[in-house]
A and B are shown apart, each in its own frame.
Chain A
Amino acid sequence: MKPTHVLCTLCLLVAMAAPVADAQNADITVTVADERGKPVADAVVVAVPADGPARAGTKPRDEIVDQVDKEFLPKVQVVLVGTPVTFPNRDAVRHQVYSFSPAKRFELPLYSGVPQAVVFDKPGVVVLGCNIHDWMIGYVYVSESPYFAKTNAEGKALLSDLPPRDYVVRVWHPQLAAGEETTRKTVEASRAHRADVAFTVALKPEVKIRRAPAAGQRGSY
């Protein structure tokens, strides 16, 4: 057999094997709504295998959290533990990004452009702030499991390509009234059908530091 034929055969086998591998995995569709039935956007959904650790060897991708018009974009970023995250400043004014969160304490001194990446090496929620613009707030959710997603405006998220097994699925959101652990649900993910799971969560009212012009000061004799 000619070498070219061997190569073609191998390519064909790989091409055929890939869909088979996908077909062996499962998807979980998650819907998150608040107590009034309103879809909750920017909710983090994480699936952790119920019977053991998550698939090893998943390499974290580099992620970014931009600063655009003096706001963090996205407001909520989900990353796998160990992920380097850069904080590019797209504004013409300088920012000083910091976090006091136990999962990652850091400070990027006043900067423009793209600073050095910060590696998020512990699972947990990292709250971001800017020391120059106090109203800026953002979140990096550091997941210990590679199976995570974030809900869209319709409150929907898709956890895809999960090895078939039981998972504990939980939800986190910046305004979540109770702890993330209270949202745990066990879901069976099988290759036969897509699992659908719905969460109803209680949210606290969000009061942000005011960005709008403050009440003017007056005074005369």
Chain B
Amino acid sequence: MPTPLEHGSTAVRTLPARVMALLALGSLAALHGTAARAEWDLAAAAGLSYDNNLTRAQDGVDKRAAGAVNANVTAARFIPFSGSDSVLFALDGRAEAFSRYSGLSNLVVGGSASYRHKFGLGAEAPWMSMSLRVSYDDYREDLRTSTRLHARAEAGQRFGAQFDASAGVYYERRYDNHGESIVPGVSGHVFDLAGQGVDVRAGYAATNEWYLDAKAGVRRGDVESTSQRSLPIFLASSAITDDPVWGDPNLYAYRLRGTTYTGALTASYAVNDQSSLDISYEYGLTRAAQGLEYITNAVFVTFTHRY
């Protein structure tokens, strides 16, 4: 069994080449968007984030916190079939670099398709949508590298110019086969996860510039937690492996079955019709078997510009 350091050193790959690839992809998308501006909407975003419990750990001694910078580009094609029905195809690329735990730095390329139906005419007509997103998340430390699938159904309505609300259900799957088994008979694929959830969201435009958004959700399914060895987490887990990202040989990654309650608040400032600056706070509480639970707090600051 390799030590975390050895594991990390063999698995770590250089990011610059991947960043260049992402930039090239973004440039191509931008060029295509310029050539066919009518059909493609381009957006770019850059931001900062801070998470106080990246390890998803219960005990303070196991918690690791860090900040990250990120940038992403999205090219989306919107096709209305009628006034009521439309589809949206989107391609996106994202790069994220962490300040302390470089193994968490990642590049993501993804694509999505969504269908939307509006039940009537006007801004206040209720709507529903179904979407499917697939992405490949390439982490600098391979343990978390995986392919993700997210299927979602959502319905919502606007109430005047200032209020809107929506609710959704989703199923998500993360396919991973990088983790090595370290306990005979127990899988090492900790990041091979599945789950489903529901969420509700409400938005309020306080002014033409400020938009406030609140979201709450519940998710049931597999979660990951990194901690030192303990009997409760061992009994509750369905997969265990080394987690070399943290540089601590005493930390192991576990896959658990749990329920996660989330809440998020966002204040978004519209700089103009094409740009916004968002500040978000997200809270998460996950409960698993054996009395295990962990709490996460994260903040995000993101600037988004749509071309």
**A interface list, Cβ under 8 A from B:** 91-94, 96, 98, 100, 107, 109-110, 129, 131-132, 134, 205-216, 218-219, 221
- Note all chain B residues with C-beta closer than 8 A to A109: 82-83
- Cβ-based interface call for B118 (8 A): yes
- Note all chain B residues with C-beta closer than 8 A to A214: 203, 211, 213, 268, 276
- Cβ-based interface call for B272 (8 A): yes
Establish whether residues A134 and B123, one from each chain, have CB atoms under 8 Å apart when the complex forms. Answer: yes
Establish whether residues A215 and B268, one from each chain, have CB atoms under 8 Å apart when the complex forms. Answer: yes
Mostly, the B contact residues are strand
Q: Residue of B at shortest CB range from A94?
A: B80
User: Which of A93, A110, A132, A207 is most buried by chain B, counting CB atoms within 10 A of its CB?
Assistant: A207
> How far is the CB of B94 from the nearest CB of chain A, in Å?
11
Establish whether residues B193 and A221, one from each chain, have CB atoms under 8 Å apart when the complex forms. Answer: yes
Establish whether residues A107 and B121, one from each chain, have CB atoms under 8 Å apart when the complex forms. Answer: yes
Establish whether residues A207 and B208, one from each chain, have CB atoms under 8 Å apart when the complex forms. Answer: yes
| Given A132-B83, A134-B123, A221-B224, residue A210 in contact with residue B304 (CB < 8 A) | no
Which listed residue (B78, B82, B193, B195) contacts A93, Cβ 8 A? B78
The stretch among B37-45, B58-66, B229-237 that forms the contact with chain A is B37-45
> How far is the CB of A54 from the nearest CB of chain B, in Å?
34
- Note all chain A residues with C-beta closer than 8 A to B208: 206-208, 210
Q: Residue of A at shortest CB range from B38?
A: A92
- Note all chain A residues with C-beta closer than 8 A to B161: 207-209
Establish whether residues A213 and B304, one from each chain, have CB atoms under 8 Å apart when the complex forms. Answer: yes
Establish whether residues A207 and B205, one from each chain, have CB atoms under 8 Å apart when the complex forms. Answer: yes
User: Which of B45, B83, B122 is most buried by chain A, counting CB atoms within 10 A of its CB?
Assistant: B83
Mostly, the A contact residues are loop
| Given A206-B208, A210-B211, A221-B174, residue A215 in contact with residue B280 (CB < 8 A) | yes
- Cβ-based interface call for B14 (8 A): no
User: Which of A100, A212, A218 is most buried by chain B, counting CB atoms within 10 A of its CB?
Assistant: A212
Q: State in angstroms the CA–CA spacing of A100 and B123 once bound together.
A: 11
Establish whether residues A100 and B275, one from each chain, have CB atoms under 8 Å apart when the complex forms. Answer: no
Q: State in angstroms the CA–CA spacing of A210 and B275 once bound together.
A: 11
| Given A207-B205, A212-B273, residue A92 in contact with residue B193 (CB < 8 A) | no
Establish whether residues A131 and B272, one from each chain, have CB atoms under 8 Å apart when the complex forms. Answer: no
Establish whether residues A100 and B122, one from each chain, have CB atoms under 8 Å apart when the complex forms. Answer: yes
Q: State in angstroms the CA–CA spacing of A210 and B161 once bound together.
A: 8
- Cβ-based interface call for B274 (8 A): yes
- Cβ-based interface call for B242 (8 A): no
> How far is the CB of A145 from the nearest CB of chain B, in Å?
30
Establish whether residues A134 and B275, one from each chain, have CB atoms under 8 Å apart when the complex forms. Answer: no
- Cβ-based interface call for B138 (8 A): no
Shortest Cβ-Cβ A-B pairs, 6 listed: A92-B38, A212-B270, A134-B123, A215-B266, A96-B83, A213-B304
Establish whether residues A134 and B276, one from each chain, have CB atoms under 8 Å apart when the complex forms. Answer: no
Interface string of B271-307 (1 = CB under 8 A from A): 1111110101010000000000000000010101110
**B interface list, Cβ under 8 A from A:** 37-39, 43, 45, 78, 80, 82-84, 86, 118, 121-123, 125, 158, 161-162, 172, 174, 191, 193, 195, 203, 205-208, 211, 213, 222-224, 262, 264, 266, 268, 270-276, 278, 280, 282, 300, 302, 304-306
Establish whether residues B205 and A216, one from each chain, have CB atoms under 8 Å apart when the complex forms. Answer: no
> How far is the CB of B171 from the nearest CB of chain A, in Å?
13
Q: State in angstroms the CA–CA spacing of A23 and B211 once bound together.
A: 55
Which listed residue (B38, B121, B123, B275) contacts A212, Cβ 8 A? B275
User: Which of A91, A92, A221 is most buried by chain B, counting CB atoms within 10 A of its CB?
Assistant: A221
- Note all chain A residues with C-beta closer than 8 A to B271: 212
Establish whether residues A215 and B174, one from each chain, have CB atoms under 8 Å apart when the complex forms. Answer: no
Q: State in angstroms the CA–CA spacing of A219 and B148 once bound together.
A: 12
Q: Residue of B at shortest CB range from A108?
A: B83
Q: State in angstroms the CA–CA spacing of A132 and B82 once bound together.
A: 9
Establish whether residues A131 and B300, one from each chain, have CB atoms under 8 Å apart when the complex forms. Answer: no
- Note all chain B residues with C-beta closer than 8 A to A205: 207
Q: Residue of A at shortest CB range from B78?
A: A93
Q: State in angstroms the CA–CA spacing of A93 and B272 once bound together.
A: 21
- Note all chain B residues with C-beta closer than 8 A to A218: 264, 280, 282, 300
Q: State in angstroms the CA–CA spacing of A4 and B222 once bound together.
A: 100
Establish whether residues B211 and A213, one from each chain, have CB atoms under 8 Å apart when the complex forms. Answer: no
Q: Residue of A at shortest CB range from B170?
A: A219
Given A215-B276, A219-B262, 6 more A-B residue pairs with CB atoms under 8 Å apart are A94-B80, A131-B125, A209-B161, A212-B272, A212-B306, A213-B275
Establish whether residues B275 and A221, one from each chain, have CB atoms under 8 Å apart when the complex forms. Answer: no
- Note all chain B residues with C-beta closer than 8 A to A216: 45, 278, 302, 304
Establish whether residues A132 and B211, one from each chain, have CB atoms under 8 Å apart when the complex forms. Answer: no
Which listed residue (A131, A207, A221) contacts B122, Cβ 8 A? A131
